[in-house]
Each structure stands twice: as structure tokens, then as C-alpha cells.
Amino acid sequence: MPTIASSVVPPPKSWDEFEDITLSAAKLRWGSTDFQRHGRTGQKQDGIDVFGHDDDDRHIGVQCKNTVGGISFAVIEDEVANAEKFDPPLDRVYIATTAPRDAPLQRKVRILSEARRQEGKFRVGILFWDDLCQDLATDDDVFFAHYPQFRGKVDEARIHDRALYDQMIGLLQTDGVIGFLDRNNMAGFSFPRAKFDPLWEFFYEWNHPEREFLSPELEALRKALWEKTDTYTTLLATETFATEMSADRHWVPPEWEIEQPERFWRVVGNFHDLAAEIVKLHADFVRVGKKQLIAGVD
């Protein structure tokens, strides 16, 4: 599945839109909501369009240059000189540009930054369009706020499947009914009937068109898991009974081991084999769901 980070994102033509994108990228890059745009059209900005503080309380300024065709080192030097006037003084200054990455230019900026560090002045960096896109890609909501046209049918399908996935793993929890299936010994030992309530709910509610996944792999696993659950709950209904002590506890009657040993061990074996298959299918479902819906990889 294509990801935002791997997509070709067109830079904006509007300088105002570019400053908004740079502001969003700065908040994500430095993990701070403190960043804001500086001033408004017509006001003196002292070489800074976006400013704020990072988690280390460093005062950071960003100058935006909507220069798709490239940016010269001379322009960077001019903007750095302008940023010297910013009050209060800055700890870091970055030039954000819509231009693609340029290794020779990066080297010049590194040398300039180191020379300034030795002089006790703020350091300098450059953020190319690729860098800004990588920042936006760390938050889908922020990215789509700037590029709603990228939220296509594939994304809607993923949203649909993610909602179903969350519901299903919330019902069939590893530390809930799935873990109980994995640990429970059906060989004549009683169990609380309520422990299987999530499994019964899955059987009754999860074989409808509304609960089908759009992902073929996830849907195949859901269907296989439901079919095994169908078989398991049928065994529960026909081969387990309330104990003499409590109607809320059931078991495979232990007297069968003596009176009907063939039936007893066949039923117990079926329960244990089905439980193992359900546990494995559930683990496969969780892993595929995490890969497709959380990591975003086919």
C-alpha cells in the first residue's frame, strides 16, 4: 500500500500556504505546539517567518523561501544576516525551501553553521521540501489538512478496516477469551460459562456483510476464525453441561472418562484442537492487521 512518505507531494504555489505547511512541519519536527507564524503581510519580519521553542527550550526561527527551482547560498547568507536582528535572539535558524535536496548546498550550510558556532552565534540549517514532507507524513490528520486530495478510496478502505479491526480485537482479546481458550483444560474440569461470552458474541454478530473487511487477507482470516468459532460453540452447546454445584459452571462430564472414555477423549481432543486453531488464527489476524492498518504495509 502506498504511504504518504513515499508519495510525490507537489509544493504549493502560494507563499502563504507554504508558510502554513512549514508551521505544521515545525510543530511535528520539534514536538511542540509553541511554534507560530511571525507577523503579517507588510510587517518587518527580521528574516523569520515561523518561530517557537523546542522541548529543550531552544529558540528556533525558520525563514520560508518558496523557491522550487533552487536556492542559492548567497540568499541563505542574506537571510541569516537578517535573522541576527530578531528579538529575543535565536538559538537556531533554518531556511525552509520548496527546492529539492542539494548536497553541495547542504555542505556549505554545515560549514557556515560550524563557523558561527565557534563564534558563539546561532547555528544554521536548511530544510528542503523533502524534509518538510517527511515531517508532515508523521501525522495523517495534519497531512490531509493541507492535502485533502490525497485522501482517496484506498484511505477510506483503510479507515473502514481499521475501525472493524479495533472492534474485533477489542472483543476477542489475547488476555481475555483467547487466553482462556489457550489455557483452559476441558478434560473434566469445570469452567465459568461466562468466560465464553465474547466467543458467543463473535459467533452471533460477526458473520454479517456489515462486519466484512475490504482487505482480502483480513477478510479470509475473519471468516476462518468465525468458522472455527462456529464449530467450537456448537461443541460447547452439545457436549458440555452444567455442574451439579452451579448452573453457571459447565464441564465435559468427568464421569464420561469412566463410563464413555471414547466419547470423553474425542470431545476433549476436539475442544483442545479447535482452541489451538482459534488462538493461531487470532494471532495471524492481529499481526496482519497491525502490518496493513497500523504500519501501512501490504
126 and 68 part of one domain? yes
Strands 191-192 and 241-242 turn out to be unpaired
Query: Domain end: 150, 165, 198, which one?
Result: 150
Backbone angles phi, psi at 275, to 5 degrees: -60, -45
In a shared domain, residues 132 and 259: no
User: Which residues contact residue 237 at a Cβ distance below 8 angstroms, ignoring those fewer than 6 apart?
Assistant: none
The 3-state secondary structure of 156-206 reads HHHHHHHHHHHHHHHHCCCCCHHHHHHHCCCCCCCEEHHHHHHHHHHHHHC
DSSP strand pairing (123-127 vs 92-97)? parallel
Rounded-to-integer distance, Cα 231 and Cα 56, Å: 58
- Is the separation of the CB atoms in 121 and 91 below 8 Å? no
- Last-in-domain residue among 128, 150, 172: 150
Task: Verify that 114 and 134 share a domain, yes or no.
Answer: yes
C-alpha span between 268 and 187 (Å, rounded)? 6
User: Among residues 55, 20, 49, which one has the least CA distance to residue 34?
Assistant: 55
State whether 242 and 276 are in the same domain: yes
Kindly state whether residue 32 falls inside one of the protein's structural domains.
yes
Number of domains in the chain: 2
Mention every residue, 6+ apart, whose C-beta is less than 8 A from residue 40. none
From 131, 150, 169, the end of a domain falls on 150
Residue 51: inside a domain: yes
Q: Is there a domain that residue 72 lies in?
A: yes
pLDDT in tens, the chain (298 residues): 445 555 678 888 888 999 999 999 999 999 999 999 987 654 555 679 999 999 889 999 999 998 878 899 999 999 999 999 999 999 999 999 999 999 999 999 999 999 999 999 999 999 999 999 999 989 988 998 998 877 765 567 888 999 999 999 999 999 999 999 999 999 999 999 999 999 999 999 999 999 999 999 999 999 999 999 999 999 999 999 999 999 999 999 999 999 999 999 999 999 999 999 999 999 999 999 999 998 755 4
* The CA-based dihedral angle spanning residues 171, 177, 179, 182, taken in that order and rounded to the nearest 10 degrees: -130
178-216: per-residue pLDDT in tens? 999 999 999 999 999 999 999 999 999 999 999 999 999
287 shares a domain with 160: yes
Q: Is residue 4 part of a domain?
A: no
Q: Structural domain of residue 205, as residue ranges?
A: 153-294
Q: 286 and 160 share a domain? A: yes
Looking at the structure, do residues 261 and 216 belong to the same domain, yes or no?
Answer: yes
Q: 174 and 80 in one domain?
A: no
Same domain, 113 and 206: no
Whole-angstrom Cα distance, residue 237 to residue 241?
8
Inside any domain, residue 10: no
pLDDT score, position 223: 97
Give the other-Cβ count within 10 Å of 40's Cβ.
7
Is 243 found in the same domain as 174?
A: yes
**271, part of any domain:** yes
